A and B are shown apart, each in its own frame.
Chain A
Amino acid sequence: SQTIHQWPATLVQPVGSPLSLECTVEGTSNPNLYWYRQAAGRGLQLLFYSVGIGQISSEVPQNLSASRPQDRQFILSSKKLLLSDSGFYLCAWSVQAQPQHFGDGTRLSIL
């Protein structure tokens, strides 16, 4: 069966520091991969998606970037975090476009 791993579960970072969140999927090949963010009091917002190695689509302009160095690895990064980057970050995968299956998320707090 397929599983998705996200880490770390929680992270506290100072403003201006870099960020790297990692997501890996097991049990499937060539999945579609996604990064979402849930800000406080809001629904989930799609940030990036990838249909293959090195292929990244960005949904909203922001302080973040994504990379897919391997088939089942998806990384969310920032060179300098802002206070507004705080939130709950979720990685997801799918075989076709839908349904998408989510990891357990990373709670990111910026101080």
Chain B
Amino acid sequence: DQQVKQNSPSLSVQEGRISILNCDYTNSMFDYFLWYKKYPAEGPTFLISISSIKDKNEDGRFTVFLNKSAKHLSLHIVPSQPGDSAVYFCAASWSGGGSNYKLTFGKGTLLTVNP
């Protein structure tokens, strides 16, 4: 049972345009969400997170939106740069029951930003 889903395995955008990466989850207990970026042969790098008490969090070119009723979150990158080309993972956790250490990951979306 895949509790965090990234339904687009890949996405290609032009440099300077907006990249929108999507993520859906099924477990309504999740209350904290994170996005990671991964280059080949490297570990994932933490990008941005959002708590379920918010619906938006912004950090520079990166903004994460959370729609709790739809169990959906998205990562917006504006403007997109060639260096943003990487695999992006969505992850979720919940703070109850001693499970706050466990991150549940999606399978990732490969973003390619073309010059």
Contacts of B4 in A (CB 8 A): 43
Cα separation A9 to B105 with both chains bound (whole Å): 22
Contacts of B45 in A (CB 8 A): 102
A34 within 8 Å of B (CB atoms): yes
A32 within 8 Å of B (CB atoms): yes
Once A59-B102, A104-B43 are accepted as A-B contacts, the answer to whether A43 and B108 lie under 8 Å apart by CB is yes
Which residue in chain A gives the minimum CB-CB distance to B51?
A98
By secondary structure, the A interface counts as strand
Q: 20 interchain pairs (CB within 8 A)?
A: A41-B107, A42-B107, A43-B89, A43-B108, A44-B91, A44-B103, A46-B101, A46-B102, A46-B103, A90-B44, A92-B43, A98-B34, A99-B34, A99-B46, A100-B46, A100-B103, A102-B43, A103-B43, A104-B41, A105-B41
Interface, chain A (partner B; CB < 8 A): 6, 9, 32, 34, 41-46, 49, 51, 57, 59, 90, 92, 94, 97-105, 107
